[in-house]
């Protein structure tokens, strides 16, 4: 039996809800159980360190570095880059840069994480990085990649075209799909529908021979497997996924009996926490953004997603992709 090579993931132990350090310990326990070849480098407060010392896992699989400075979710990019030199998020990204870790995971603010990742790791060519979510697509082991989920508040049609190229390159390793079909999120499927952004994006995607266009996709078909890659600007992508989460969470807040029924009626392939962890595609390294308010299982899933992305050779595959290479300046 070939033993899988160890994969080291750096974890920002301060991101997300800071009061939930007990949750982080549980997430660490869960992640180490789910992925036997996983090692972690955790950056966080002394309080977290103490809590981790009571965790039920092999101590040798964890390295701890004290870094209690936490970047506020909505801190401006400029402040993030100039201050917070000792923040857990910054140090976790730097661990990827200097080779201490193969990937990093943070549940902190999207803006700070994207700014630090671009600044410290650099981007692949002239690409704008995009957050890529793996959506369940109508059944077990069927997924679609959706990007951008909010790395950029504003995007041009050229950006969306880049996202399609990034998604197509990523689908080869993440979905084992050599010929993924790309759809553009829109308010209708007919040719003339939507705003100038989606119209121009469709034009760019259809004339690019490296891409297979699936035309437009409406948001009510996000989880139906109509396309392998769904491109959208970060504002719309973020709103669409949060709206979907919002409906799902209504079931989690009803009376006990209804909650139980809801749990039983939920399709197994659509358990929300199974899909936590968006990959920041387009930077020189594997960076995973975990949902800020995700339960501990979800944070564990984000760490496992990061490890799987490393194991799949995602980054090398993107860096050496002939299509993306042509884009690089």
Beta carbon nearer to its own copies, 54 or 141: 141
What distance in Å separates the CA atoms of residue 296 and residue 300, rounded to the nearest whole number? 6
Residue ranges binding its own copies (CB under 8 A): 73-74, 76, 150, 153-154, 185, 187-188, 190-196, 218-224, 234-236, 238-251, 254, 258-262, 264-265, 267, 270
Do the beta carbons of residue 11 and residue 41 sit within 8 Å?
yes
**Closest distance between its own copies and the C-beta of residue 128, in Å?**
14
Cα–Cα distance measured from residue 207 to residue 74, given in angstroms and rounded to the nearest whole number? 38
- How many residues are listed for the chain in this entry? 329
Instruction: In angstroms, give the least distance from the CB of 23 to its own copies.
Output: 19
Cβ atoms of 180 and 226 closer than 8 Å: no
Beta bridge partners of 187: none
CB of 171 to its own copies, least distance (A): 21
Residue with Cβ nearer its own copies (182 or 232): 232
* Cα-based distances in Å from 255 to 49, 111, 248, 251, 263: 37, 36, 15, 9, 12
- What is the closest distance, in whole angstroms, from the C-beta atom of residue 304 to its own copies in the complex? 24
Measured from the CB atom, the residue of 4 and 245 that comes closer to its own copies is 245
The least CB distance from residue 250 to its own copies, in Å, is 6
Helix (H, G, I), strand (E, B) or coil at 11: strand
- Pick the closer one to its own copies by CB: 81 or 244: 244
Helix or strand holding residue 212 (H, E): strand 212-218
Decide if 286 contacts 309 (C-beta within 8 A).
yes
User: Could you tell me which residues come within 8 angstroms of residue 323 by beta carbon, excluding any fewer than 6 positions away?
Assistant: 165, 168, 169, 210
Least distance (Å) from its own copies to the CB of residue 41?
A: 29
Q: Which is nearer to its own copies, 39 or 291 (CB)?
A: 291
**Which residue's CB is nearer to its own copies, number 13 or number 234?**
234
């Amino acid at each position: 039996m070939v033993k899988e090579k160890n994969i080291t993931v750096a974890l920002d132990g301060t991101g997300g809800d800071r009061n939930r350090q007990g949750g982080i310990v549980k997430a660490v326990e869960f992640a180490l159980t789910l992925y036997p070849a996983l090692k972690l480098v955790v950056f966080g407060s002394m309080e977290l360190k103490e809590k981790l010392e009571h965790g039920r896992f092999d101590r040798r699989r964890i390295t701890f570095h004290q870094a209690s400075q936490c970047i506020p979710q909505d801190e401006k990019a400029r402040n993030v880059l100039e201050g917070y030199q000792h923040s857990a998020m910054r140090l976790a990204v730097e661990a990827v840069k200097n080779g201490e870790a193969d990937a990093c995971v943070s549940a902190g603010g999207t803006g700070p994480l994207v700014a630090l990742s671009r600044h410290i790791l650099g981007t692949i060519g002239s690409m704008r990085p995009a957050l890529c979510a793996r959506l369940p697509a109508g059944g077990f082991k069927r997924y679609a990649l959706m990007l951008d989920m909010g790395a950029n508040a504003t995007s041009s049609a050229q950006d969306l075209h880049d996202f399609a190229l990034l998604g197509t390159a990523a689908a080869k390793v993440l979905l084992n799909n050599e010929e993924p079909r790309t759809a553009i999120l829109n308010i209708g499927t007919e040719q003339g529908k939507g705003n100038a952004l989606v119209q121009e994006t469709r034009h760019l995607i259809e004339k690019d021979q490296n891409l297979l266009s699936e035309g437009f996709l409406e948001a009510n078909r996000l989880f139906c497997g109509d396309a392998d890659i769904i491109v959208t600007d970060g504002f719309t992508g973020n709103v669409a996924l949060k709206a979907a989460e919002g409906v799902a969470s209504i079931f989690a807040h009803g009376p006990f009996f209804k909650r139980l029924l809801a749990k039983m009626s939920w399709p197994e392939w659509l358990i929300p926490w199974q899909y936590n962890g968006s990959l920041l595609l387009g930077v020189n390294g594997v960076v995973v953004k975990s949902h800020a308010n995700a339960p501990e299982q979800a944070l564990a899933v984000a760490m496992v997603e990061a490890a799987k992305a490393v194991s799949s050779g995602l980054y090398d595959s993107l860096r050496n992709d002939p299509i993306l290479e042509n884009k690089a300046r």
